[in-house]
A and B are shown apart, each in its own frame.
Chain A
Amino acid sequence: MNINSKRLLKEKTMGGAMFFITILSLLLVVVMGVGLYMKSSPIFNELSLLDILTAREWRPAKSQFGFFPFVMGTVWVTLIAIIIAFPISLFTALYLTEYAKSVVRKYVYPALDILAALPSVIYGVWGTLVVVPWISKKLGPVFVDYTSGYTVLAAGIVLGIMILPLLVSLFVEIFSTVPMAMREVSLALGSTRWQLSTKVIMKKSLPGIFATIVLAVSRALGETIAVLMVCGNVPQIPHSIFDACYPIPALIANNYGEMLSMPLYEAALMLAATILFVVVLVFNLTSRIVLRRISKND
């Protein structure tokens, strides 16, 4: 075998091998999805999906698996996180792209990357040490008689701050796709930067802003550790932001591996995981598709 056919053989085998590895990791997602469903399917012999999702009682020992409190816990926490993170990240990104000098950007972008890379348990610890006491001692008493601090609000704040770096960097990316000429046109007509930002940049970026929020929601839905540490973990439907709650990821993380001798308990937890899996997958895919379209257009 001469030297040329040798290197060509190598080229071919390596190409094939790497393709295989890539496909494998993609296949893993499918395998996980199917696996989760298989594990959760026994519960459907007893209850329908709709029953499980709308039932309010969670008593595994009595085979009562009502998901509604957990669904509501997830919705509340995610909603508050988005409400907190969306305006902050939007204005930060606008500032960075439209107002800030490049020196500022040079220092802020790496700082954001560091924030994004912090392990979530650190956010959890910070939440327990700072946010929870602040809510129970300072903010809570203003509105309610008693709150432990381990609340929907605490979880929302911690989660909101966790998803902030992701939102900012995505918004910056989206605003950067608005052509420079468009900025010139607006400023040349005598607009202020604020008018440019609100009437041109944000308007042009609307689909992207929407897709980004969806992506952030999917990220927030799945966050486990930090939320689990500050949300209180009480299986109840929260009635205010000062009530404790129990989102789905926390439910799975806290209970899996315990008391699995109970009939259908494992299946119920696996169903929770399946629901989370599907919702996050769908959200993620939709927003990624939209975001890709946007960057292609420009």
Chain B
Amino acid sequence: MTLFVKRLAKSENGFTKEEFSMFKHENEDSSGLYCEKLNVSINGNHILKDVSLKIPKNKITCIVGPSGCGKSTLLKTFNRIIDMTEGVKISGKIMLGSENIADMSFNDLTEIRRRIGLVPQRPCPLPMSIYDNIAYGCRIHGITKRKDLNKIVVHYLNEVGLWNEVRNRLQTPATGLSIGQQQRLCLARSIAVEPEIILADEATSALDPVSSKIVEDLFVRLKEDYTIVMVTHTLRQALRIADYAIFIYMGKVVEEGPAKEVFENPQNELTKNYLLGVFS
């Protein structure tokens, strides 16, 4: 065990994202994510109505709005995980670079989904060891050499500040970690496949305040390398970390813009009331 750890530690980090890259990013036009006239309905319920917006690169974009307004649906539509729900109809455009995610087949989606990471609401470790949780994404995309995987595991565990906490128990089940650690593991797992965008659906809502702060800080640090889209229920969190804000109400984008402007000087009456806490 110790030998294994020593060998792993040799490949310690200190790489930039480009230097470390294990994936080929040849055909990726990284001009960012935007959607146009996006409509989503589930079993005839019109959830998202003519949503058009642009997600700025290397920023944290927070999607806020009252519960049931469609924020999670929007987030899940970006990587088409919404397809898991029965009876979903999507029309309009979701563009990642030059590719329209909205009308992709399942097979094409597997590659697009690698480029768009997802951090779930509740930490959700896969039923395997800590090591395998990180390696899982790489393995399914064809990186199988032990040496590469070792490097990846160490690098990304370091990225989320988990390496020192788990270095001696990499082969133990990931469910043995605390909830906060699990969520950082999930974050590491999703960035280990080198996405451009990270989607986070209330990623801190299930965590205690301390872990929540750690994960929040991580997002702030990670925005250098990734575009982050967050759905959040807590306005305070959005105020703290958002660079860009989108306010959604009843499936429509009511207001969007740089977070400072939206939060401090909202133009729309609905946004004002929401920020004042008239409804939530």
Contact = CB atoms under 8 A, between A and B. Distances in A.
A193 B110 CA distance: 10
Interface of A: 101-102, 179-193, 195, 199-200, 203-204
Chain A interface main SS type: helix
B141 to A, nearest CB: 6
Nearest to A195: B140
A183 B84 contact: yes
Contact of B126 (A180, A182, A190, A192): A182
Contact of B120 (A184, A190, A203): A184
Given A195-B140, A200-B126, A204-B127, A187 B84 contact: yes
B201 to A, nearest CB: 10
B199 to A, nearest CB: 8
A191 B81 CA distance: 12
Nearest to B133: A185
Contact of B118 (A185, A192, A193): A185
Contact of B117 (A182, A184, A188, A200): A188
* Across the A-B interface, the 9 shortest Cβ-Cβ residue pairs: A188-B118, A190-B114, A189-B137, A190-B113, A204-B127, A181-B124, A191-B140, A190-B110, A195-B140
A199 B136 contact: yes
A190 B137 contact: yes
A184 B140 contact: no
Interface string B107-120: 10111111011101
B193 interface: yes
B73 interface: no
B84 A189 contact: no
A102 B193 CA distance: 31
A186 B110 contact: no
A203 B127 contact: yes
A225 B114 CA distance: 54
B184 to A, nearest CB: 15
Interface residues on B, range: 20 to 34
Contacts of B79: 188
A125 to B, nearest CB: 40
A189 B111 CA distance: 9
Interface in B87-117: 106-107, 109-114, 116-117
B169 interface: no
Given A181-B120, A195-B140, A199-B136, A187 B127 contact: no
Given A187-B84, A189-B137, A200-B127, A181 B122 contact: yes
Nearest to A103: B86
28 contacts: A181-B120, A182-B127, A183-B84, A184-B81, A185-B118, A185-B120, A185-B186, A185-B189, A187-B81, A187-B84, A188-B81, A188-B116, A188-B118, A189-B114, A189-B118, A189-B137, A189-B140, A189-B190, A190-B111, A190-B113, A190-B114, A190-B137, A190-B141, A191-B137, A191-B140, A192-B107, A199-B140, A204-B127
A42 to B, nearest CB: 53
Nearest to B132: A199
Contacts of A182: 124, 126-127
Contacts of B136: 186, 189, 199
Nearest to A192: B110
Interface in B182-206: 186, 189-190, 193
A98 B141 CA distance: 20
